[in-house]
């Protein structure tokens, strides 16, 4: 090289310039807008409004918004992750201060939630965990599964064959099945003879239970991981003319579950409660605490589950 000193200087300047550019780029990518000073716009994102659980969530959001003088906008994902991604981008454009989300896919939604947080939006997950959220408010799902199955197994006299009507692979649903399996350890004379996943609704609960009863008709109990699936199982039991032989329990404490508990002769005997409206109200409270620089010590907030049976349904306040 003819001019090593000059070339070296040029390279040094170029390297420094590149370093500064990368540093600025990195800083821009990771810096987020400041948190809002007040919650004026709330965006609620639910999985499927055809499920009464999410209708109750919508009511809780509207109540919470009214309490603090905020506007509220509920969006239905119709169980589609792509829909939730688009809805988050729309909320960012609309300048919402708080997103409360029941995620269709707790991992898949993370990039969209990070975009929201970069825009200065507080994100609280409800019902099921979502990566990237500031906190999650959910039912103690393991406890719910334990309470529902404990009661079912006791009412079966501690022996017999059971079916498990599972659901989509969300953490809260897996936890309910885990809770049921925990209790199963204490009942050596109860055997799981069928385990299939529904789509969390009554129609698929009916379909998978019908299949399992056809394959293994010697069944005395059925646990449905939510009320819609459990009520689908009830219909399958009735169509098989087995109402006097099979007992069914669920999880939710839904209005439909309550009605079924009150119906004479129904195989449905109990449900472990959730409180969807309270989840959203709690989420809004947590967001307000974050604004006030009082974030929760534990970012997972569990709401206890209670058992509702035919004997206690009259005292249950419901959703």
pLDDT per residue, tens digit, the chain (319 aa), is: 444 444 444 444 344 443 434 333 333 343 457 888 899 999 999 999 988 899 999 999 999 999 999 999 999 999 999 999 999 999 999 999 999 999 999 999 999 999 999 999 999 999 999 999 999 999 999 999 999 999 999 999 999 999 999 999 888 999 999 999 999 999 999 999 999 999 999 999 999 999 999 999 999 999 999 999 999 999 999 999 999 999 999 999 999 999 999 999 999 999 999 999 999 999 999 999 999 999 999 999 999 999 999 999 999 999 9
How far is 68 from 65, CA to CA, in rounded Å? 5
Overall fold of domain 41-137+276-302: Rossmann fold (3.40.50)
Rounded Cα–Cα distance for residues 248 and 250 (Å): 7
Structural domain boundaries in the chain: 41-137+276-302, 141-275+309-315
Domains 41-137+276-302 and 141-275+309-315 share a fold: yes
- pTM value? 0.81
pLDDT for the residue 296: 94
- CA torsion through residues 111, 65, 52, 276, sign: positive
pLDDT of residue 275: 96
Residue 122: phi, psi to the nearest 5? -80, 135
Chain length of the chain: 319
Domain 141-275+309-315: give its CATH superfamily: Response regulator (3.40.50.2300)
Distance CA 151, CA 24 (A): 60
Q: Are 235 and 254 in contact (CB under 8 A)?
A: no
Question: Could you give the strand order of the β-sheet that contains 71-76, starting from the edge strand earlier in sequence?
Answer: 71-76, 41-46, 98-101, 122-126, 135-139, 300-303
User: Which pLDDT belongs to residue 5?
Assistant: 40
Question: What's the pLDDT score for residue 74?
Answer: 98
Q: What is the pLDDT of residue 36?
A: 86
């Amino acid at each position: 090289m003819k001019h090593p000193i000059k070339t070296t200087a040029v390279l040094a300047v170029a390297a420094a310039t590149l370093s500064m550019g990368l540093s600025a780029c990195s800083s821009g990518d990771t810096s987020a807008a400041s948190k809002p000073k007040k919650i004026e716009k709330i965006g609620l994102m639910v999985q499927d409004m055809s499920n009464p659980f999410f209708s109750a969530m919508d009511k809780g959001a509207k109540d919470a918004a009214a309490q603090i003088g905020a506007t509220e906008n509920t969006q239905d994902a119709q169980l589609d992750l792509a829909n939730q991604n688009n809805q988050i981008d729309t909320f960012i454009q609309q300048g919402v201060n708080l997103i409360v989300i029941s995620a269709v896919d707790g991992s898949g939604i993370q990039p969209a939630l990070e975009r929201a947080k970069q825009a200065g939006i507080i994100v609280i997950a409800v019902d099921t965990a979502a990566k990237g959220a500031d906190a999650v408010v959910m039912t103690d799902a393991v406890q719910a599964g334990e309470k529902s199955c404990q009661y079912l197994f006791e009412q079966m006299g501690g022996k017999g064959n059971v079916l498990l009507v599972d659901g989509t692979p969300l953490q809260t649903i897996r936890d309910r099945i885990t809770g049921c399996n925990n209790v199963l350890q204490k009942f050596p004379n109860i055997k799981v003879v069928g385990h299939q996943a529904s789509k969390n609704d009554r129609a698929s609960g009916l379909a998978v239970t019908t299949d399992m009863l056809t394959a293994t008709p010697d069944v005395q109990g059925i646990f449905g991981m939510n009320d819609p699936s459990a009520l689908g199982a009830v219909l399958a039991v009735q169509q098989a003319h087995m109402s006097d032989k099979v007992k069914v329990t669920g999880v939710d404490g839904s209005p439909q579950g309550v009605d079924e508990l009150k119906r004479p002769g129904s195989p449905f005997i109990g449900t472990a409660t959730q409180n969807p409206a309270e989840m959203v109200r709690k989420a809004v409270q947590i967001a307000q605490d974050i604004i006030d620089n009082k974030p929760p010590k534990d970012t997972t907030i569990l709401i206890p589950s209670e058992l509702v049976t035919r004997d206690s349904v009259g005292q249950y306040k419901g959703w």
